[in-house]
Amino acid sequence: MTEHTALYVYALVPDRQGAADGVTGLDGRPLRLVGVPGTTVAALVHDATPAPFQGDDEQVRRWVAEQNRAVTAVWERTGSILPMTFNVLVADDAASGRSAERRLADWITEQEADITGQLEELAGRCELRVEITVDRTAAAAGDPEEGAREAGLDGRSPGMRRLLAKQREQQARNEAGRLADSLHAEIRQRLLSVAEDFRDRGPAHRTADETGVLSAALLVRHEDIDAVGTVLSEVRARQPAVRIRFLGPWPPYTFTDARHRAYAQEAAS
């Protein structure tokens, strides 16, 4: 420890006794809850020096994974959580004589209504991530003219075969694009019928021979996870060229109002 101690803040949660028992965070540090008298909110923290965690890319990825595991473990016990980003530290304030814990408690007290409202809105909810693509080769296989084009390659010169192969690739791309366009609005509407919120995301897992249909984060009640799976299974059964990646459930990172993170960064400054 240095002269001025700090708290590394992982998340804000409903104050539940024992929710952090046995949970460890970065580099195996034991976590604890800092409850705030007069509120129903607690902060998930570990004791730290004021210096941020710094390392190479591999080490930072490991720390982020450890933070996510800790947040998930406590979320499963409390039912709601507002996760912080990596490296949110609240330090002692030598000028005012306020400890890190006092500064954090003061900030939570000031923002209690907003924080409590967000925790209530997210209670019993989780995040699912869905990425849907069309496999271009599979989409082209459904084209009745594809077999004739393949047969037409026999006896052609190498240069002509290369030209025709490029044409086939473009035709497969066009066919996959048409299918993706026809599916996007339908799948989005069906997912919104079973999810409470929907946020578009950039593609996370897409190979060179796939055309994107939809990449999204869904906010759903735990009891509706199977309903999302049913929608996706029906789409896959009806469209063999469709590829679906379905991940979660996770804490609702995407749907957490960023205001509390901004406030926390301000408190940490």
Residues 141, 63, single domain; the answer is: no
Q: 39 burial class (0-12, 13-18, 19+ CB within 10 angstroms)? A: middle
Residues 158, 45, single domain; the answer is: no
Instruction: Supply the pLDDT for residue 167.
Output: 65
Instruction: Supply the pLDDT for residue 2.
Output: 46
Residues 163, 194, single domain; the answer is: yes
Q: At what angle do helices 259-268 and 112-122 cross, to 10 degrees?
A: 140
Q: Which structural domain, as residue segments, surrounds residue 44? A: 6-123
Instruction: Supply the pLDDT for residue 207.
Output: 73
Asked whether residue 232 is domain-assigned, the answer is yes
Residues 74, 146, single domain; the answer is: no
The model carries a pTM of 0.81
Residues 81, 146, single domain; the answer is: no
How confident is the prediction along the chain (269 residues), in pLDDT tens digits per residue?
445 589 999 999 999 999 999 999 999 999 999 999 999 999 999 999 999 999 999 999 999 999 999 999 999 999 999 999 999 999 998 888 899 999 999 999 999 999 999 999 999 999 999 999 998 888 877 555 555 445 555 566 676 656 655 666 667 677 877 888 889 999 999 999 999 999 998 877 667 788 889 999 999 999 999 999 999 999 999 999 999 999 999 999 999 866 565 555 555 55
Residues 101, 180, single domain; the answer is: no
Domain end: 91, 123, 155, which one?
123
Residues 93, 38, single domain; the answer is: yes
Domain count, the chain: 2
Asked whether residue 265 is domain-assigned, the answer is no
Instruction: Supply the pLDDT for residue 172.
Output: 67
